[in-house]
Every structure is written in structure tokens, then in C-alpha cells.
Amino acid sequence: MDTSLSLDIAKHTLLLFGLILGIGTFSGLLARIVRMPDVVFFLLVGMLIGPGVLGLVDIKASSAVNQLILIFGSSYILFDGGASIKLRVLKKVWITVAVLATIGVLITAAITGVAAYYFLGLPPIVALLLGTVIASTDPATLVPVFKQVKVRDRVAQAVMSESAFNDAMGAIVTFTVLGVAMGSGHFSAADALLDLFKQSLFGIAIGGVLGYLAAVLISHERYNFLAEFAPVVTLMAVIGAYMSADGIHSSGFMAVFVFGIMLGNMESLGFKRSRVENHLMHDYVETTALIMRMFIFILLGTQVDFGLMNRYLWAGVAVVAVFMLVARPVTVFLCALPDRRAKWHFKELLFMCWTRETGVIPGALAGMLVGMKAPGAQIIASVTFIAILLTILLQATTTKWLAGKLGLLEGEGEW
């Protein structure tokens, strides 16, 4: 490539990044003023400045720049979410999280697939493929929402943990069904379970090992020679955790989430840091995660294909309505209610039924299907965008209101 052309591309990309940061900053300020989750404003602003309206930002979903932002941004947001998880709370709800992240994905996919079959007239296997694409919840959306809306610990952490752990299941089921739809494979429950176990086990192991190693290097009394470089260590380890897990075909997102849990619970592991060090690290992680949210959701908004959405709008809205109002409640009550250890209250279950935003990961899966020219890929992408818009605009904006109505905001008394 000609040097001058490369320089022009670099300058144009840098200009777009500056534009996104500037617009994102004012959007975040507006979100704070009106007391709404900032991801909602980032998504709306992205739709406004994208090629469908003003045309100020046009970064293709398939571009290397977009993929880099998507992978690293989602990983860092997941790390931030993991760091806010308390092990003492997770111990009480881990059964619910495990069942929701596995069996729950299958239940949601099946019910959504039936809705797609009836409302969109899709072949059964394509309808099921649509269901699997949007079945997993989105940690890149849920983590920021729960960082801003202080919901009771065990509810917030159960939902955030589910969103981190069910990505692997969603991807596995999606590509298993895709193999059947494209005539290149057959469904094997044993193979799917083995793959899920492998992805989960190696993801957890890699995140745990790197998390412990990072804690030693920045917090150990004798070996903390990288203490002053703690922020850089977290960046290196987030990238290392994701790439290591992905390199052996396990869940990179699960690895970075577990890495975050390890660093967020250093005191439970026997490490101590001063209040000043913790404050500096917290500020750094919060700022970096905010920047990642800006880029991910503004870019996601710019990539909404209005023409594609309009083509299947009303049938797609009907499918998403079943997805939100039937599939999710059925999934939550079937998977969480039997957990006697957690002893879920009815109001907590109602709240969990409503908080299941769709976002980056389902959007990425839909984009991959379009690139692979999978059967029904255009329809699947259309409905996925509708699900992203409706769940973020309706559910994320009402999270605090619903939590308040149900008495689940932090600091409120038991009912």
C-alpha cells in the first residue's frame, strides 16, 4: 500500500476516534443528568451519526478496526464486571448461574425459534438458528448498567455472572445448529456438552492462573515488584487471558471474567493493597471501561442497517416480544426457582426476567453468519438488530425504575 494512502487512512481513523470520544463524552454527561444508563445514549448517538442518518462515522462491522475494538472492549468490560463480583455472594447463587448459562440458553433458543417459525415463516432449522444467536445475554451491556444502577448484590451479580458465562454456550449451540443448517454436520448432544465443558474449564483455568499471577506481581509482600505498573499489568493480562483461551479454542470472555474475579477478590486470596493503591486502580479501570463502552455502543449504533430492519420489522418485533416476554420469564423460573440454596424471592425472579439485554456478542454472531452466507442470515441479522435495540432501549432504561418498584435497590430493607 502506498505510504501516503496509509497515512491518510491513519489520519482519518484518528479523526473518527476523536469524534467518537467527543460525542461519547457529551452523551455520557447527558445520560448522567437524566439519570439513565449511558449505553442507551451511546447506542442512539451512534445511530444518529452513522451512515443511515448523518454519515459522520462509517466503520464497517467486518473491518479489522471494529473487530479490535469489539474484542478488546468487550474483554475489558467483562474484566471490570468480574472485578466487581464478590466470591462470598457468588458462592450462594452459583447453581442458578450455571443452569441459566447452559440449560437456560437452550430453553430461550427453543422458544424463540418456535416464534420465528410462526411469525417469519422460516424453516425449522433456520428458525432455531435465529433463536440460538440471540439466546445469550450481553455482558457488555449488563455490566455497565449494574455499575450505574445499584441493585442488591446477589441479584446483580447473578445476572452479570450469567451474562459472562452463557456466551460460550450461545456460540457453541449457534455453530452446532449452523452445521446442521448448512448440511455440513449433525447435532450431537454429547459433542456439544464436551465442547462446552472444555471451553468453560480451560477458560476458567486460564483466567484463574493469570489472575493469581497478576495479584502476586502487584500485591504480594515480597514479589510485588510490578506494583507501580498495576494498570499496565491488568491490560497485559486481559489481552493475555483472552488470547490464550481463544488460542486453544476455549472461551476468551470467560477467561477475562474469571481474571477480573481473581483481582477483585485479592483480599480473599491473602493479598493486601493500600487504600490509595485501590483507589488509583479503581479510577483507572472505571475510566478505561467507560472509553470502551463509548466505542462499542456508538459503533454498534452506526452499524444498524435500517433498510434490513424495515424489511422484517413487524414480524421481527413479534419474535422479539415473545423472546422478551415469554422465553426469558420461562427460562428464569425453570432454571432459578428450583435452586433451594439461593432461596430466590418472587420479586427477585421478576427482576431477573426483565434484565437480559442483547448486544455485542449476538450482534457479532449475526455478522459472522452474514459473512458465511448462512441460510436465512439476512433475516437473522435483521431480527438480531431489532432485539438489540428493543432490549437496550426498553430494558436498560427501566432497570432502575423496576428495581425501585420491587424494593431491590441497594440499601432498601427486606420485604
Helix axes 377-390, 124-133, angle to 10 degrees: 40
Q: What is the pLDDT of residues 19-41, one digit of tens each?
A: 999 999 999 899 888 877 788 88
Question: 274: which residues sit within 8 A by CB, 6+ positions away?
Answer: none
Q: For all residues of the chain together, what is the average pLDDT? A: 83
Q: What is the pLDDT of residues 230-264, one digit of tens each?
A: 888 888 888 998 899 888 878 787 888 889 888 88
Write down all domains in the chain, each with its CATH number in brackets: 60-405 (1.20.1530.20)
Q: What is the pLDDT of residues 59-107, one digit of tens each?
A: 887 788 888 887 888 788 878 878 877 777 778 888 998 899 889 999 9
What is the amino acid identity at position 359? Answer: G
Assess contact for 375 and 181: CB atoms under 8 A.
yes
Task: Say whether pTM exceeds 0.85.
Answer: no
Assess contact for 204 and 258: CB atoms under 8 A.
yes
Mean pLDDT confidence for 113-120: 94
Task: Check whether 415 has a pLDDT greater than 50.
Answer: no
Question: 276: which residues sit within 8 A by CB, 6+ positions away?
Answer: none
Cα pseudo-dihedral 114, 120, 123, 126, rounded to 10: -80
- β-bridge partners, 171: none
Assign 117 a pLDDT band (cuts: 50, 70, 90). Answer: very high
- 117-121, 222-226, 228-232, 410-414: segment of lowest average pLDDT: 410-414
140-163 in b/e burial notation, b at 16+ Cβ within 10 A?
bbbbbbbbbbebbbbbbbbbbbbb
- β-bridge partners, 151: 409
pLDDT, residue 118, reads: 93
**What gap in Å lies between CA 166 and CA 109, rounded to an integer?**
12
308-344 in b/e burial notation, b at 16+ Cβ within 10 A?
bbeebeebbbbbbebbbeebbbbbbbebbeebeebeb
- β-bridge partners, 409: 151
Task: Check whether 413 has a pLDDT greater than 60.
Answer: no
pLDDT, residue 365, reads: 77
Residue where the block lists cell 467518537: 20
Strand, coil or helix: what is 415?
Answer: coil
Strand, coil or helix: what is 398?
Answer: helix
pLDDT, residue 197, reads: 76
